[in-house]
Structures are given as structure tokens and as C-alpha cells.
Amino acid sequence: MEEKFVVPQKFKLLTYALIAIGGISLLLGFFLDSQRAWANYLLNNFYFVSLAIGAAFFIAIQYVAQAGWSAAFKRVPEAMVSYLPVAGILFLLLFFGMHSLYHWTHEDALQTDALLQHKSPYLNTPFFFARVIFFFGAWILLTSALRKFSVKEDLEGGLNYFYKSEWYSRVLIFVLALTFSLFAVDAIMSLEPHWFSTLFAGKLFIAAVLHASTVIALIVIILHNRGHFEMLNQSHLHDFTRYIFMASIVWGYFNFAEFMLIWYANIPEETFFFVDRWHGAWKFLFYFNIVVNWAIPFVVLMPRMTSRSKPVMVPVIILLMIGQYTELYYIIWPATVHAAKFGWMEIGTFLGFAGLFSLVVANALTKASLVPKNHPYMAESVAHHF
């Protein structure tokens, strides 16, 4: 079952070009409008970190549930997780942009604002970065252990590594639930330090799972079209769709529950978040997010026929990738840029990060056999049908 993946030269050149575009647009951005450039930087960083985290969660779920169908494709989420160290370094570079993004880093604001003073033992720059280092350290430690077991299993076989991976996956799920929630609060919610919502972190977590499921499916489909993953059949596609469908419904539920409770309770401390976003482009994005992230996947992926066909899945996947961007845009832009600006800087930065992510993932895919060789559920995965 040894299957080698080689990164095509054209693809490599394309990713280099994209990274160059991203670098140039960020650099230009820093000179022209540094706040907007940093907002772009934060958004794209978070976008791709949540992809990697969602992929790590995906692997962990497969082990804990002892899922057989996905065994053949587990190198794809593993490759996506390998973006985490890069993301960690990029996140540390945010140090230079803290002042442009986070209101609570301003000394003068801290002096007059009782709430910020109250929160300052937690929300201060040194502790913020200590947490970032801790979160990324924990994620990288656990996921690289899972990766190591997976590669060693290829060489040695046996059930030993499977049991070890299962145990680490249990730990990883607990660690992710706690750390990613805190990370989402730190990185995104603290942009508006006066606002709080308990569902916010959960919503971003399930958005990460949704988003990662779509990208895993997309990568598998692309590789299949290039001649890899010969065992991929409609049942596998249906199972990928089920993840997307499930996560999309949970996202819709969380998003609605968050809004509805704040709308109903009508407490000014909470409502201002939505009041600020209840006009112009933000109001459009509010509905757009619901339609793209929940309504369209819910209706389109419901029938059996559409949920197992590539021509339907790929457009929905691309739509959901846009949906994750607009969701983060909807949260971040009103808090930082204060205007619905969208132009070359946004597109360029996104392309740059996408290029970097693709390059890291493609390189990670070449490092081991594309299909695991000694995974105990390999036979079940190949024969999967329902």
C-alpha cells in the first residue's frame, strides 16, 4: 500500500508566488495602514491555526471512536497539523502589532477604564504571550507525538502504537477543548475587552472543526483527482460530508443560541457587540454568515445523492471556506479597523497565508507514505461501504 506523494514543481512555484504576494501586500499594508494590515495578519493567522486545530481534533476523534473508514486518509489531517509550529512562530510575531489591535495594551486606556484594570492581571502582554507559548507548546507536543506513532506504525506494525495513539487522543481532546477556547478568547474576543460571551469560544471551536473537515475533504478529493487514494469511494465521500453537515448544524446552533440569548436578555453590556454590527455591510455579513455556513450546506448536503457526489461537495466546500473568512471578518473588522474595508490587502494577505499553508501541508504529505501501511483499520477503510 506504499504510496508516495511528490509535490509538483508547478505547485511549489505557485505557493512561492503566493507567499511573495502575501509578503508584499502585508509590507505595503504596514506602511499605508498598519492597523488594517495587523487585522489582516491576525485574521489569517487565526484562520489557518483553526484549520490545523480542527484537523488535530479530527484525528483524535477517529482514534477515540476507533473509526475504521478514515484510516486510509489520516495522513491528510496529519499534514495539516504540521502547520502548527509555523503558525506558532507567526503568532509570536504578533507582538509587534499588539498596540494596533488590542485596546487593553494602551496605557492611557488602562488608567481611565475600571474594567480593563480589573482584567489586567489576566489581559496583559507578557501573560498573553506566555499563554500563547503554552498553548502552542501543548498542541505541538501532543500532535507531534501522534504523528511519531503514526510514522513508526508504518515501519514496525502491531497494535502497540494504535493503543498509544488512542490514549494520546483522549488527552488531546481535553487539552484542545480547554486551550483552544482560551486561545480564542485571548486572540479574538479580547479585541473587544468590554464584551463577553460564554458561547463565543465554543462557536469558534466548532467553526474550526467545520472548517477543517471541509479542507480535509477538499485535499482528499484533489489528491484523488490526481490519481492517489484509489480506494476512495462514495461511502467515504458521504462520511466526509457527514462531518461537514454535522459541524455546520452545530455551528448554526451555537451562532443562533449566542445571538438569541443576547437579543432576548437585552443587557446593554452584551448587546453592544451586535448593535455595533447592525448596519451596513455588517448587517449583510450577519445574514450572509448564517446562509453560507449553515443554510446552504444544510439544504444542499441533506439528500443522499448530493452528499456523496464530488461535483456538489466541492462548491459547498469552497463556499464554507469563504464562510469561515467572512465570519472572522465580521468579528474582527468592526473591533479593529472600524470600517468594512476590503481590497487588495485582504486578498493578498489571504493568498500569502494560503500559499504558506499549502506549501507546509504538501511538504508534510511527502514525508511519509500517503496511505498508512500498518494501521489496524486499513482493510476496513478500503472495504468501507454502506
CA distance 228 to 213: 19
Residue closer to other proteins, measured from CB, 158 or 303: 303
What string marks each residue from 210 to 249 as x (binds other proteins by CB under 8 A) or -? ----------------------------------------
Contact 54, 369 (CB under 8 A): no
Rounded CA-CA distance 378/381 in Å is 5
Contact between 288 and other proteins (CB under 8 A)? no
Residues 160 and 261: their CA atoms lie apart, in Å, by: 48
CA 298 from chain center: how many Å?
A: 20
Please report where in the chains the cell 471551536 appears, as a residue: 205
Query: Closer to other proteins at the Cβ: 279 or 385?
Result: 385
Cell of 88: 506558532
Residue with smaller CB distance to other proteins, 115 or 267? 267
Single-letter amino acid code for the residue at 41:
Y
Q: Which is nearer to other proteins, 17 or 302 (CB)?
A: 302
| DSSP letters spanning 13-26 | HHHHHHHHHHHHHH
Q: Residue 174 or residue 263: which is nearer to other proteins going by CB? A: 263
Q: Is-contact 70 115, C-beta < 8 A? A: no
302 binds other proteins per the rule CB under 8 A:
yes
Amino acid at 280: G
Q: Are 232 and 217 within 8 A, CB to CB? A: no
In the DSSP assignment, the letter for residue 339 is S
Site for other proteins in 266-285 (CB under 8 A): 266
Grid coordinates standing for 161? 502504537
What is the C-alpha separation between 31 and 51, in angstroms, rounded?
A: 29
- 3-class state of residue 322 by DSSP: helix
Give alpha helix (H) positions in 73-159.
75-81, 84-92, 98-101, 107-112, 114-119, 125-156
Nearest residue (CB) to other proteins, 112 versus 266? 266
**Using the rule CB under 8 A, is 11 a contact of other proteins?**
no
Closest CB to other proteins among residues 109, 302: 302
* Contact between 141 and other proteins per CB under 8 A: no
Place of cell 484549520: 51
Judged by CB under 8 A, the stretch of 193-201, 216-224, 236-244, 255-263 that binds other proteins is 255-263
User: Which one of residues 89, 264, 305, 311 is an interface residue with other proteins (CB under 8 A)?
Assistant: 264
305 touches other proteins by CB under 8 A: no
| Interface with other proteins (CB under 8 A), residue from 263, 278, 284, 298 | 263
- Nearest distance from C-beta of residue 262 to other proteins, angstroms: 10
Give CA–CA dist 58/251, Å, rounded.
Answer: 16
We find the least distance from the C-beta atom of residue 264 to other proteins, in angstroms, to be: 6
Within 154-213, which residues bind other proteins (CB under 8 A)?
Answer: none
Cβ 291 to other proteins shortest distance, Å = 15
Give the nearest distance from C-beta 295 to other proteins in angstroms.
Answer: 13
Asked if residue 259 binds other proteins (CB under 8 A), the reply is yes
First-to-last alpha carbon distance for the chain, in angstroms, is 23
Q: Measuring CA to CA, how many Å separate 104 from each of 38, 117, 123, 148, 190? A: 16, 9, 7, 40, 8
Q: How far is the CB of 166 from other proteins (least distance, A)?
A: 26
Judged by CB under 8 A, which stretch of 40-48, 260-268, 288-296, 352-360 contacts other proteins?
Answer: 260-268
Closest distance of CB 129 from other proteins, Å: 39
Q: How far is it, in rounded angstroms, from Cα 356 to Cα 361?
A: 9
Question: Which one, 114 or 305, has the nearer CB to other proteins?
Answer: 305
Q: Does 383 bind other proteins (CB under 8 A)?
A: no
Q: How many chain residues touch other proteins (CB under 8 A)?
A: 9
For position 260 contacting other proteins by CB under 8 A, the verdict is yes
Please tell me whether residue 127 binds other proteins under the rule CB under 8 A.
no
Cβ distance to other proteins smaller for residue 31 or 264: 264
Contacts of residue 17, defined as CB under 8 A and 6 or more positions apart, other chains included, come to 355
Compute the distance between CA of residue 184 and CA of residue 203 in angstroms, rounded to an integer: 10
Sites of contact with other proteins (CB under 8 A): 256, 259-260, 263-264, 266, 302, 385-386
